[in-house]
Amino acid sequence: MADDFLPLSKEDMTKRGWDRLDFLIVSGDAYVDHPSFGPAILGRLLEKEGWRVGIIAQPDWRSTADFKKLGKPRLGVLVTAGNLDSMLNKFTAAKKFRSADHYSPGGAAGRRPERATIVYANRIREAWKDIPLIIGGIEASLRRFAHYDYWSNSVRRSILVDCRADLLVYGMGERQVREIAGQLAAGFPVRDIRNVHGTCYLAESLEHLWDEVEVPDYETVSASKQAFAEAFRLQYLEQDPIRGKPVVQRHGEFYVVQNPPAAPLTVAEMDEIYDLPYRRAYHPSYEAAGGVPAIQEVKFSLVSHRGCFGGCSFCAIVSHQGRIIQPRSRESILKEAEILTRLPDFKGYIHDVGGPTANFRLPACQEQAERGTCRGRQCLHPGPCQNLRTGHADYLALLRDLRSLPGVKKVFIRSGLRYDYLLASGDSEFLRELCQHHVSGQLKIAPEHISPKVTRLMGKPGKEVYLRFAEAFRRMNQKLGKEQYLVPYLMSSHPGAGLPEAVEMAEFLRDMNYHPEQVQDFIPTPGSLSTCMYYTGIHPLTGERVHVAKDPHEKRLQRALLQFRNPKNYDLVIEALRKAGRQDLIGFGPKCLVRPPRERPAGPPAAVGGKKRPLPPGRNKAAKKQARVR
């Protein structure tokens, strides 16, 4: 029933006996009352604290009318672009419009503006000049400093400046929003709320700060890539809730001040958030449009923890959720699983149990609780730290409990799984149960690349680690009498990858007899180390120069090499091999990737580079379409 959701209209407020809201949440996503959606979490949390909360989802931004439809809230407005950066939501890596938006009713595109946080915030300022305005979500979080914007190919100033907001909440915002709400309710002017960790604000001077880190200002980083890299390095190294210092960056007459990150949530606090009374569905008003597609990926999945110490350069987790793992209790997860089993459309399958990385259930080491994460060092790269805790016992016990629940037929693991961490643990028992119970024929993993030059810049394990895991996976499935395959995610055009590295990857794929149907082009999203490398051509932590593929045609060539068996890529592959000086891979030998142009067959050149393995009997059509690695 719609009455069980947070109010979307004046009628909803009237049914609750409300004449005015305390807080209004404005979101670029449709309203889905599920703990994978930020507005639902924050709305339910504020509701539990006793505040009257309403949501305006995907307002018409062309005027202030939609923003006013629930009336002026008493305490403040919270604004988010949604679960994705609005530019990433709207455009592909080739800067073309996406045809669908899974966070909109019916998957329809065009329901939100570009740079949604800025547009929404400025409309709210038009409607109510004096309202406390707080921005947050992934878009605000990762654009909190001067940042490179791929879609405009420019350095943009902090989103806080463009939004004219009072506060910016970065990271997962439950602790911050709860504290801000309490101070506003106590009568503190929003301009005086300057002590909340995990927030940014604008200041005219730095007299009130102590031991801050000042990074090169906006004007300087806009003019100098070297300065941009240095600014990124300085702020990147302070993203720790225990040892991190305030970071400031001047923007004209004002300073953007970032307080240290919010403290990690305790187990009890994580449990509290996921125990809130979510409806676990999209709002009924979207039913006529076909619902909200994004819920399908998460409706029967379980979040076991937050945070990731994997350290992938292209991932912004370190700047959003942080490196310290924040787990839920086993009891809380089992309680949520039992709720899933009672949903009318539950078929007995839990689709996923994990977080940013599935098998990171506990903090990387005991010392993080007291001194935070190691400054300038990674837990897994270039190899596992000697202090790293690598056991899987807790995660394994959780999976066993879940699959023993009445009504549960199967529990799958589909979120990222770090195979280098699994190998470091030497946990053959976990690998056995993974293969026996938690793989649905295919296990998705993310080597991303195999060239040492590229994987080092990515912060990923090398080719030899992937091959060790592939062999261990093959042997375990053979022992269990199962036919299951690895499906590796691959990325083209990451900083450091040129045509020689793409050829190296193509040869590896040839030797493994793996033919990827999908390859992801690197997208320089705000806030990541890889994006800094992409824009500056500099590794900000080491100062080394990095090759970057920015020319669209070079990107096409790299992508084509990783899919060299696709007939549509034939001309591009020939061109790429010639440019790389690898004509030896054009011919009829077993090591060749494609045949010479004059000998090009009418069909796909599948015979070159070895015979394709026959499909085993009984495989369904979907499985036949998937590329596989033994």
Q: Are 59 and 174 part of one and the same domain?
A: yes
Q: Kindly state whether residue 294 falls inside one of the protein's structural domains.
A: no
- Of 200, 223, 239, the one marking the end of a domain is 200
Kindly list the strands in the beta sheet with 442-448, ordered across the sheet, starting from the edge strand earlier in the chain.
Answer: 442-448, 485-492, 520-521
Is 75 found in the same domain as 105?
A: yes
Residue 203 contacts residue 511 (beta carbons within 8 Å): no
Query: Could you give the CA distance from residue 541 to residue 432 in angstroms, rounded to a whole number?
Result: 39
Identify whether residues 573 and 592 lie together within a single domain: yes
Q: Assess if residue 219 is contained within a domain.
A: no
Q: Which amino acid is at 615?
A: L
Rounded Cα distance between 117 and 140, Å, is 7
* First-to-final CA distance of the chain: 48
Do residue 508 and residue 431 come from a single domain? no
User: What local confidence, expressed as pLDDT, does residue 618 receive?
Assistant: 39
Rounded average pLDDT per 10-residue block, the chain, 630 residues:
88 96 98 97 98 98 97 98 96 94 97 97 97 98 98 98 97 97 97 97 96 98 98 96 97 97 97 97 96 96 96 90 95 98 96 94 90 93 92 95 97 91 93 96 94 97 96 97 94 97 98 92 96 98 97 97 96 97 96 85 48 39 39
Residue 630 lies in a domain: yes
pLDDT the model gives residue 622: 40
For residue 38, give the nearest of 97, 82, 76 by alpha carbon: 82
Predicted model pTM: 0.92
Q: Which two tokens stand for residue 439?
A: 């793989």
623 vs 19: CA distance, rounded Å = 55
585 and 463 both lie in a single domain? yes
Statement to judge: residues 484 and 424 lie in one domain = no
Q: Are residues 457 and 556 in the same domain?
A: yes
- Output the CA–CA distances (angstroms, integers) from residue 110 to 67, 90, 116, 383, in the order listed: 18, 8, 12, 44
Looking at the domain assignment, is residue 525 inside a domain? yes
Q: Are 59 and 17 in contact (CB under 8 A)?
A: no
**Listed residues 406, 439, 472: the one ending a domain:** 439
Among 182, 200, 218, the domain boundary falls at 200
Question: Quick check: is 258 in a domain?
Answer: no
**Order of strands across the sheet that contains 23-27:** 53-57, 23-27, 76-80, 133-136, 167-169, 199-203, 254-258, 247-251, 213-215
Tokens of residue 311, six digits: 């350290």
At a CB cut-off of 8 Å and minimum separation 6, what does 539 contact?
229, 457, 533, 546
* 233 touches 543 (CB < 8 A): no
Domain co-membership, 374 together with 457? no
Position 514 in a domain: yes
Residue 142 domain-assigned (yes or no): yes
Buried b (16+ CB within 10 A) or exposed e, 502-530: bbbbbbbbbebebbbeebbbbbbbbbbbb
The answer on 543 and 404 residing in a single domain is no
Give the phi and the psi of residue 405 in degrees, each rounded to 5. Answer: -70, 140
Q: Structure tokens of 463?
A: 């080719």
CATH of the domain at 534: 3.30.750.200
Q: What pLDDT score does 440 carry?
A: 86
Domain that holds residue 499: 441-630
What is the pLDDT at residue 1? 59
- Is residue 539 domain-shared with residue 630, that is, in the same domain? yes
**Residue 602 neighbours by CB distance under 10 Å:** 5
Are residues 423 and 430 in contact, defined by beta-carbon separation less than 8 angstroms? no
Let me know whether 432 and 463 are in one domain.
Answer: no
267 part of a folded domain = no
CATH code, domain carrying 157: 3.40.50.280
- Residue 374's CATH number: 3.30.750.210
Partners of 488 in the β-ladder:
445
Transcribe 162-230 into DSSP letters: HHT-SEEE-SS-HHHHHHHHHHHHTT--GGG----TTEEEEES-STT-SS-EEEPPHHHHHH-HHHHHH
Residue 347 vs residues 342, 351, 398, 522: alpha-carbon distances, Å: 10, 11, 20, 36
Same domain, 171 and 68: yes
Say if strands 352-354 and 326-327 run parallel, antiparallel, or are unpaired. Answer: unpaired
Structural domains counted in the chain: 3
Q: Is 210 exposed, middle or buried (0-12, 13-18, 19+ CB in 10 A)?
A: exposed
Measuring CA to CA, which residue among 294, 341, 235 is closest to residue 100? Answer: 294
